[in-house]
Amino acid sequence: MPYVPVSLPVIHPPQPASPCLTDPLAPIAAPIAALASDPLAPTIFHETWWLDAAAPGGWGETTVRAGGKVVGRLPYLLRPARLGGDACLMPDFCHFLGPAVDAGTGAPANRALRRDQIIRDLITALPPHGLFHQRMHRDTPDVMIFAEEGFHTLAQFTFEISPAPPDRLWAAMRDKTRNIVRRAEDRYRVTDCLTAAAFAAFYAENAAATGTACYYHPDAITRITDAALARDRGRLLAALTPEGMISAAIFCVWDAKVCYYLLSMRDRGAENGATSLLLWDAIRHAAAQGLVFDFDGLLTRGNRVFYTGFGGTVRPRFVVRRQSLRHRLVLRAGLWATGFGTPQKWRFRKDSNPRPAA
């Protein structure tokens, strides 16, 4: 039966919030109930509830159907523009997307050909746009079909830590990083009872203290963290001083395979050990659930040095981008703000959260 590509917006209702977790520094508890792996939702960022929280009423997707069921999805956020064509992007907080494909069963060669055709049909069904830019999820084996369809392809990199017993994870860390964590354990108390609103306020306040505007609106941070906590799919961790003040806080989320280090912020006057302590707790928690811990990309040399201290392994992630000639000419003519809004909101960046570099 032929594949039928479709493009449509999707709307789903919100869910209520859940209570906080407890005592993250105690021995790691029994694993969280296993999540079913779904080829049509290969990451948490593909799940409809996450997309609803990240871009309420604003995201859409192309789909491909065969035999009466969906066999392919490609979510996106379409930002309208008066000049140069609309931009087809990833919503905020969706750090990976790309095609989600169910190629069925059969010989590997036949499944590969079905996968390629589904991806081609998903691309064909995209709405008209002047710019497309997405970073592919870790289960994307190649981006050849995108290249054949005129997309520019490249690779970015992230660090991953595979699940292992705590003693092996500890031994794999750099001596300097272990010492930083030991000292931080004496200075800070870790809690995961921070509310979403408190985390958002702390994030925005300390982003402003750097002299740059907070890329994420506090309401959006609250909405996405509440949505994850309500489903037991995320964890807020904070390092508190003896006086009860927040020194650093991080937010991690997970799907059936991976725990992602999504957001991070520390008090501008605090040293880096608070964040290292929180990351060590998050890595152990992910390992106890049998999840890979993904540091979610590399921005700078400082990121690379800092993440290497935790024993991570570098992994590539494909990026695909297509830009029309008209879109390029608009940018070169200096009409970006006229057609798209402020340059700050449209600058492509992996992540806007300041993270420690050493």
Q: Quote the percentage of the chain above a pLDDT of 90.
A: 65
CA distances from 26 to 163, 180, 250 (A): 18, 19, 18
* Rounded CA separation 78/86 (Å): 7
Tell me the C-alpha distance between 122 and 151, whole Å.
14
Cβ-Cβ contacts under 8 Å for 334 (sequence gap 6 or more):
none
| Identity at 288, one-letter amino acid code | A
Is pLDDT of 316 > 60?
yes
Q: Where are the beta strands (DSSP E) in the chain?
A: 4-9, 59-66, 69-79, 87-89, 100-101, 131-135, 152-161, 189-191, 234-240, 246-254, 258-266, 292-294, 313-323
Strands (E), 162-257: 189-191, 234-240, 246-254
Q: What share of the chain is helix, strand, coil (3-state, %, to 5)?
A: 35, 25, 40
Q: For residue range 225-239, what is the model confidence (pLDDT) as tens digits?
A: 999 999 999 999 999
Q: What would the pLDDT profile of 179-208 be if each residue is shown by its tens digit? A: 999 999 999 999 998 999 999 999 998 888
The helix or strand, by DSSP H or E, that contains position 196, with its residue range, turns out to be: helix 196-209
Structural domains in the chain plus CATH codes: 4-16+36-152+321-346 (3.40.630), 164-290 (3.40.630.30)
- Tell me the pTM: 0.84
Query: What percentage of residues in the chain have a pLDDT greater than 70?
Result: 82
pLDDT at 298: 66
- What confidence tens digit (pLDDT) does each residue in 246-292 have? 999 999 999 999 999 999 998 877 777 999 999 999 999 999 999 99
Instruction: Encode pLDDT of 34-90 as tens digits.
Output: 688 899 999 999 999 999 999 999 999 999 999 999 999 999 999 988 777 889 999
Gap between the Cα atoms of 222 and 341, Å rounded: 24
Output the pLDDT for position 310. 93
Tell me, what amino acid is at 307?
Y
Average pLDDT over all residues of the chain: 84
Q: What is the Cα–Cα distance from 87 to 81, expressed in whole angstroms?
A: 7
How would you class 155 by CB atoms within 10 Å of its CB: exposed for 0-12, middle for 13-18, buried for 19 or more?
A: exposed
**pLDDT 10s digits, 121-156:** 999 999 999 999 999 999 999 999 999 999 999 999
Say which residues have a Cβ less than 8 Å from residue 194's Cβ, sequence separation at least 6: 20, 236, 237, 238, 246, 249
**Buried b / exposed e across 242-260, counting CB within 10 Å, b at 16+?**
eeeebbbbbbbbbbbbbbb
